[in-house]
Chains A and B, each alone.
Chain A
Amino acid sequence: MSTTVRAPVAGSAAPLSTVPDPVFSAGMVGPGLAIDPPRAPLVSVAPIDGKIMKLHPHAFVIVGDDGRGVLVHLGIDTVQLRGAGFSVLATEGARIRAGEPVVAWDPAAVEAGGRSPVCPVVALDASAGAVVPLAHGTIEAGDALFDWA
């Protein structure tokens, strides 16, 4: 059964290869898509129904009941910010539905600090061919982003 992965943030959807970090752009973490968010405070949401397996201020992983995990990374190298500027709105281990809030943050502040606010959305342990983009260009949070076959 395929999984529809939804946009965790609004913005502009683009191939993962556009992300300015080779770990993501080369698909080392897995296939997926990137979203370049608007430069204004926003709330990132869960991309799928499931359990919040890992919740860091700058990144989170949601695992569906079928065991598939989706990683959302809020900006590049944002682990270095140690949570500054990010507000966690959910609880690790809790169940969550796609579209429900996870972390509030400000892409403008991330960019002002010299980092890219681009958000990789990655299908963990998926083969490259398993991900089919459903969006390109402007999208809203919660819109279908890609299909995970």
Chain B
Amino acid sequence: MAERRVTVMAEVGLHARPAATFVQTAAKANLDVTVGKLGGQPVNAKSILSVLALDVRQGETIVIKADGEGADEVLDTLVAIAAAP
């Protein structure tokens, strides 16, 4: 299981454009991807409903996990999206 921690930098948090881009990217991956707040329950990163429900605000840290071939690559891309201002 590969894992990354990243602080969400977008002013709107993980909503709107950042959320849509994040979920679209995760959905393209041919493996399970989860996202959660630090210490919180992970949710399916491929579900826009689940990601919006997380309600991640600017400055909050999220944990993204993926398992399988290419997991590191997927996680690096998702980290870049989440960390983008």
Contact = CB atoms under 8 A, between A and B. Distances in A.
A23 B17 CA distance: 6
Interface in A23-42: 23, 28-30
A54 B55 contact: yes
Contact of A54 (B17, B24, B47, B52): B52
Give the size category of A's interface with B: 10 to 19
Interface residues of B, number: 14
B20 A63 contact: no
B2 interface: no
Nearest to A26: B20
Nearest to B46: A125
Contacts of B49: 53, 61, 63, 69, 124-125
Contacts of B21: 28
Contacts of B17: 23, 28
A125 B27 CA distance: 10
Interface of A: 23, 28-30, 53-54, 61, 63, 69, 71, 79, 124-125
Contacts of A53: 49, 52-53
Given A28-B21, A28-B24, A125-B47, A79 B16 contact: yes
A20 to B, nearest CB: 14
Contacts of A29: 19-20, 48
A141 B48 CA distance: 25
B42 to A, nearest CB: 17
B15 interface: yes
A54 B19 CA distance: 14
Nearest to B24: A28
Contact of B15 (A30, A63, A79, A124): A79
A71 B12 contact: no
